Chains A and B, each alone.
Chain A
Amino acid sequence: MIHQVSTPARGVPLVVEGLTKFYGSTRALQEVSLEVPQGSIFGVLGPNGSGKTTLLGIVLDILLATRGTYRWAPGLKRGALLETPNFYPYLTGRENLAIVAELRGRGRDRIGDALTVVGLDSYEAMPFAKYSLGMKQRLAIGATMIGNPEVVVLDEPTNGLDPAGIADVRELIRGLRNEGKTVLLASHMLDEVEKVCTHVAILKKGQVLSQGLLEDVLRDEDRLEVRSDDLEALQALLQKHPLNPKVQPGDGYLTVAFEAGAMKPADLNRYCLEGGQTLGHLVLRKKTLESRFLELTD
């Protein structure tokens, strides 16, 4: 059961503590804890089946947690899209948004704006059942904007959209950030998270592997493979480097990881020479965000 025990700290719209969810004997989430900072675009990144939608479903009260708590800041206005767009098929786009406006206790004056923002103003009188998949997704995104919410929760918002639509949605999300809104975004696309998010939590098999600022979690790295006659002395020397690289022993060599662009191979060679180590092997291997993500989730 969910217990909303206290108010989150100021500036934190959502706090999640130890959420665990079982579907029968299958564990979908395990002890997930998060803090979504005010004004952030918080990405929940993970492969399909990692528990992203389950996590959002629980904090939106669609699913019940087996254990754990979540707390929304009180009085917060929310807009949300979870999984597929769900609207009344026999009603038009505008009529569906009118229901959303009433549910949020808002006037219908922003419906036209929402339809324009998602490019559906020409199709507002068409029944939802006749919309294409992309149009349905656009309408669902438009619906999240009704009532000027402070927090927008989006689950795979670019599903079913063409490249232009995907670009529009990403621009829309950046626009929300510029307006000071908080966005909680679930996606399995690293590219999407990388392009729009400020913070990220990486989920795998229902567990949070890593979370924090995007640049901290998914930092680009340059990896250099080095070898000298005395690997122990070389390792000790590298660990004293002022840029504080990660040094890992390999099979007859060392791997040294620096933040992308922070260290040139020639500079490292000079550093080692000055430290009394002559390198017999020096290779630069660029590490991409994708390989970093795969490393985290593999």
Chain B
Amino acid sequence: MLKIEWLKLKRYKPFWVLMTLYPLCLFGLLFLVAGSIDSLMAKTQKVQAIQNITAFRFPEVWTTVTWTASWFHFLPCVLILFTVCGEFENRTHRQNLLDGWTRLQFFLSKVLVTLGVTASSVFWVAVLAALLGATHGSYPGLEGSQTLLYFLEQCLLYNFFALALGFALRRGILSLAFFLVYSVTLEYILFGTAGSMVKNIEFYAPLRVANQLLPFPLWSEAARKLHPGAPGLEVLHAFAVGYLVLFIGFTWWRYRRSDL
């Protein structure tokens, strides 16, 4: 299945653009920020201070990098939306079935692509964290690396949300517009409105659950105090798994029961 997906993607320009843009943006941003701080410290001749910026040292660097990377989820999501909707727009998903695949095989192939894109995001984040940590006078350690697992969970939630959206709407531009509107405002509006009826429900919106897994590193404790109704990490994990099951289940259910 992966081999077939690779044959489809290897000449698909948006695939390479988005797959390159993701690490490029991430590396560019973080090395720019880290470099600026380093150079500022160097100018003030506080060389020792460079190594004391804990945000870029292990174990804090895991949190810094994963939190920063969480702002770039839209790039892999756009890729997933485009690859799935492209199959529907070109009607090649039908041809795949005519040529021998079952509906389940086609669905699983897209699940595999989504997992592959997720793995790639986690890989780049891990490499970036290791590089930043190592260049700031600390040695890689497992301490704090659990945030990488939270990041994986967050990626899965975003990416499978995109997958479900692609299968449901089937049009690239429409799906992209909905994804952007939903992730930026619609979810807040919907769950904010519902929050007036069900207390604290806004904390359990799908992408909000994902975002809460990796709070802003410096303010995580302050944020918890600011939002006393916010769920704990265990509850968030449970909801994240529940939403993943829901996204994957809905996608398969809809595809299995649709005229193609």
Contacts and interface: CB of A to CB of B under 8 A. Distances in A.
Interface of A: 57, 60-64, 78-82, 84, 86-91, 95, 98-100, 102-105, 143, 146-147, 153
B8 A62 contact: no
Interface of B: 3-4, 7-8, 11-13, 90-92, 94-103, 257-260
B99 A103 contact: yes
A57 B260 CA distance: 9
A242 B91 CA distance: 57
A100 B95 CA distance: 9
A100 B92 contact: no
A81 B99 CA distance: 9
Given A87-B92, A88-B92, A90-B11, A62 B97 contact: yes
20 contacts: A57-B259, A61-B97, A61-B102, A62-B97, A62-B98, A62-B260, A63-B259, A64-B257, A64-B258, A79-B99, A86-B91, A86-B95, A95-B11, A99-B8, A99-B99, A102-B3, A102-B7, A103-B100, A104-B99, A147-B100
Contacts of A57: 259
Contact of B7 (A79, A80, A87, A98): A98
A86 B95 CA distance: 6
B12 A95 contact: no
Given A62-B260, A86-B95, A105 B7 contact: no
A71 to B, nearest CB: 16
Nearest to B103: A61
A146 B3 CA distance: 18
A91 B6 CA distance: 12
A102 B12 CA distance: 18
Given A82-B98, A91-B11, A64 B259 contact: yes
A57 B94 CA distance: 10
A110 B97 CA distance: 20
Nearest to A85: B95
A147 B98 CA distance: 13
A88 B88 CA distance: 11
Contact of B94 (A62, A78, A79, A95): A62
Contacts of A95: 7, 11
A60 B259 CA distance: 11
